[in-house]
Amino acid sequence: MPLCSFSLPSPVADAPSQRVRTFRARRGRLSDAHHEALATLVGRWGLDAHGEPLDLAATFGRTGPVVVDIGCGMGESTRVQAAGAPGSDLIAVDVHTRGIATLLRQVQRDGATNVRVVLGDAVEFLEQRIDDEALAGARIYFPDPWPKARHRKRRLVQPVFVALLVDKLAPGAFIHCATDDMDYADQMLEVFGAEPRLQNPFDAFAPRPIPEAHDRPVTKYERRARRLGHPVRDVWVTRRLWV
């Protein structure tokens, strides 16, 4: 796999000609270990967010199902699901440098051959680097809920994004979302339900565990949500085999 280098995503002010940002820029302090991971481990496990479409078989050294984890945070669920499904390959994408640096260190420690990481905007990564119908699935766990009414346009799960994501899914591929914001959970059901290429086998929120899925782990974020009394909802939809 060719070497790549990460550059820090920069916040962009809203303007009519610019895409609405779906994330808050965070600049957590990087330790020496984080800097070392970004400098030394990217060539083994990193992928550029921008460029030509990836040859996924060449990227992972094999042909198999590829799942993208959008907004992977510190990579806790990515690591667990990669270990639990060694036959699948995972691409973890996040805009926050500290989380990606942490995940790089953990992937190195795990010796995980089926994980690649991307520091950058998932929308741009999907647009540029993933061919249509190339993915076996996508996971979006606890995306920023943007709870204020005037900010809801910033939520990731919007019709335009979902249409792009479905373009990248193979027939039968899945989208698995989880959130502890009930308004956002309802919006997910509505947006996915309005996309004609998707179907919801449960006609509502998905049960836990989901029979069709490698069940997602309970992460630090979810444990905190539960302590605060926030119910957590899962949404599971698949791309129709025929439309």
Please list, in sequence order, all residues whose beta carbon lies within 8 angstroms of the beta carbon of residue 144, skipping any fewer than 6 positions away: 22, 23, 24, 71, 154, 155, 156
CA 177, 74, 58 angle in degrees (round to 5)? 80
User: Are the CB atoms for 127 and 164 separated by under 8 Å?
Assistant: yes
186 carries an active-site annotation: no
d(Cα 92, Cα 157) in Å, to the nearest integer?
17
Q: Longest C-alpha distance within the chain, in Å?
A: 51
CA angle, residues 119, 146, 176, in degrees to nearest 5: 60
E strand residue ranges, 62-208? 66-70, 89-94, 115-119, 135-141, 169-179, 198-199
Which pair of structure tokens corresponds to residue 179? 């959130």
Could you say which of 32, 110, 132, 144 is catalytic? 144
- CA–CA distance, 153 with 128 (Å, rounded to integer): 23
- Tell me which residues are annotated as active site: 144
